[in-house]
Chain A
Amino acid sequence: MSEPTPALQTPSQTVGPFYGYALPYVGGPELVPGYHPRAIRFHGTVTDGVGEPILDALLEIWQADESGVLSRELGSLDRDGFTFTGFGRCATTIAGRYTFTTLKPGVAGKAAPYILVTVFARGVTHHLFTRAYFPEDSALHATDAVLSAVPAERRDTLICVSEGVVGGAESYRFDIRVQGENETVFLDFDA
């Protein structure tokens, strides 16, 4: 076989408005069933530069399990109801809202626990990465490399709001403001 030759990356293009019959799938937002004893609700609203809801965004989350391990299990697209794969996908509603049911991640690597959130939408030419941290881990946030790299006045945009137990599950709200006042911090992993 010939040696691999380095190549330049294929550019991104917007997901557009018409992915709705293609990318969302049954069970996509439910990394665990809602009746899991430690299920958490991870939800929020995605808004644009004038605060209007983005009703055609697609969100993906990827995270460690409760012990901080990244799953190598298959089954993200065809869930069996028991295997935690760490990946979820959810389209926003006409109110710009999304809701995942998942587990709170443990510490993976050197960072404080977080959920990696990827935002795709019509008008977003290249997806946006952000991280959702949890307010109860504030002691770990002080030494987290990413939170430390963010200006203090913008750091709160990366931290969920704890809403306590709602409907039997711990509820965390993570609103995503793509542009404008209190704009969410988006991350560049240099890749």
Chain B
Amino acid sequence: MTTPAPRPGTVPASQNEITAEIEAIEADAAARVAAGGSPELQPRRDYAPYRSSLLRHPTHELVRVDPEEVERVSPAFGHTDVNVLESDLTIQHAGEPIGERMTVSGRVLDGEGRPVRHQLIELWQANAGGRYVHKRDQHPAPLDPNFTGVGRAITGDNGEYSFTTIKPGPYPWKNHMNAWRPAHIHFSLFGTAFTQRLITQMYFPGDPLFALDPIYQSIADADARARLIGQYDHSLSVPEFSLGYRWDIVLTGPKSTWMESEDADE
């Protein structure tokens, strides 16, 4: 039996093709920096190796405007919104989840290094086998009846947070043939201004999938994407119990800091 020829343009790319696209964009970004440009602090919105971005990025440049009061403040969240137990993802069911128990701790800071106090931080992730509870995730890895993979917390007086969870597994996706996401934890953050809103992903040191992953690589600058890697910190490991990772999150860069000091002079 012969397989019918696929329609033109519908053949998924190979990893080698995706990797070549990733490397070409990285070389372009490096050339811009070498020519005196600023390093790219954020992912490119139009990043072809990540196929879902093709029809989901604006083609017009964003219109640069000054924030009004609405954008300069943020919703207030607090302990009445979030139960303190929600920061432990390993106690939400009757039994212990399967996998490497770990903690991830750090501080949420603004661009001047000041703590972002008493703000909402949300987290979600796959289980140890790389499976999300989300119903559209049909990856044939087992669900864990003792793990949902959702946590919330309010940052402390020094912007600190800490979650107890299990290390998520890598998982396959359909961006291209044999595409695998490096293990990651999704984070959602609010600052003191709505302009600081951030949704991102934390990765683990030394993952062999980094170079192959078009979502991680959508940040074309190597130093910028390294800011997404949590660091193993033995002082945060708990004997006989959990491995500790540290990850500090910075919500805005020097540009907005400069804007604020300019406002203060008025």
Contact = CB atoms under 8 A, between A and B. Distances in A.
Interface stretch (A37-45, A119-127, A166-174): A119-127
Contacts of B137: 17-18
Contact of A178 (B57, B67, B123): B57
Q: How large is the interface on A (under 10, 10 to 19, 20 to 34, 35 or more residues)?
A: 35 or more
A16 B58 contact: no
A13 B43 contact: yes
A183 B58 contact: yes
Contact of B55 (A20, A22, A49, A75): A49
Interface string A139-164: 00000011001100010000000000
A11 B224 contact: yes
Contacts of B111: 6-9
B227 A8 contact: yes
B59 to A, nearest CB: 6
Interface string B166-198: 000000000000000000001010000111111
Contacts of B188: 15, 23
A179 B57 contact: yes
Contact of B70 (A60, A63, A178): A63
Given A5-B113, A108-B70, A189-B66, A11 B200 contact: yes
B225 interface: yes
A110 to B, nearest CB: 7
B75 interface: yes
Contact of A6 (B58, B112, B120): B112
B200 A189 contact: no
A191 B258 CA distance: 10
A90 interface: no
Contacts of B113: 3-7
B132 interface: yes
Contacts of B186: 13, 15-16, 19, 22
B76 interface: yes
A145 B65 CA distance: 8
Nearest to B181: A16
Q: Which residue, of B58, B80, B135, has the highest number of chain A Cβ atoms within 10 A?
A: B58
Given A7-B250, A75-B81, A186 B41 contact: no
B73 to A, nearest CB: 5
B98 interface: no
Interface stretch (B19-27, B45-53, B204-212): B45-53
B251 A189 contact: no
B254 interface: yes
Interface string B132-172: 11111100000000001110100000000000000000000
Contacts of A128: 58, 62
Interface in A1-58: 3-23, 48-50, 52, 54, 56
A179 B66 contact: no
A10 B136 contact: no
A139 B74 CA distance: 28
B58 A178 contact: yes
A14 to B, nearest CB: 6
Given A16-B201, A62-B74, 11 more contacts: A12-B42, A19-B134, A70-B73, A78-B80, A85-B76, A109-B69, A116-B71, A120-B199, A126-B43, A150-B63, A189-B195
Interface of B: 41-45, 47, 50-60, 62-71, 73-78, 80-82, 109, 111-114, 120, 122-124, 126, 132-137, 148-150, 152, 186, 188, 193-201, 215-216, 218-219, 224-225, 227-228, 248-257, 259
Interface of A: 3-23, 48-50, 52, 54, 56, 60, 62-64, 70-78, 85-87, 108-111, 114, 116, 118, 120-129, 145-146, 149-150, 154, 178-180, 183-191
